[in-house]
Amino acid sequence: MPLKKTSAQMVEDARARIEEIETRDLIAQLGDPSTIIVDIRDIRERQRAGFIPGSVHAPRGMLEFWVDPDSPYYKDIFGKAGVRYVLHCASGWRSALATAMLQDMGFAAAHLKHGFTDWVAEGGPVEETAPKKKS
């Protein structure tokens, strides 16, 4: 059965209506308390590749629930006034879709256009996950 819309079309549609942040611009904003970087990658991706220092981890599968104040899964980090939320994934596809979904909910967010892969390529700082202690 052919799809009505491909994943690539969905990403393209999302990108046409959301704010995209270039990697260099977000690197320059790192540490700015008015910018909260939200990593939507799977925990295993963060453990394997590291993460942007100070970023908040919000797995893609829980994001809408963590943002919604009426949800039993709501997280206070998403209720801060006067901050800019910038989502990222590995390449910018999942974060584009997630940003569009949050926008549909009425939650203002932008996303890192080319994702964590470009962050690393552009020399952005990366924090490594501490190795697990052996028992």
Summarize pLDDT for 38-91 with one digit per residue, the tens. Answer: 999 999 999 999 999 999 999 999 999 999 999 999 999 999 999 999 999 999
pLDDT of residue 133: 62
27 in Cβ contact with 121 (< 8 Å): no
SS3 percent helix, strand, coil of the chain, rounded to 5, is 40, 15, 45
110 in Cβ contact with 86 (< 8 Å): yes
What is 7-121's CATH superfamily? Answer: Rhodanese-like domain (3.40.250.10)
Mention every residue, 6+ apart, whose C-beta is less than 8 A from residue 104. none
Is pLDDT at 27 greater than 90 in this prediction?
yes
In the chain, where the domains are located: 7-121
pTM assigned to the model: 0.92
* Rounded Cα–Cα distance for residues 57 and 106 (Å): 21
pLDDT of residue 131: 65
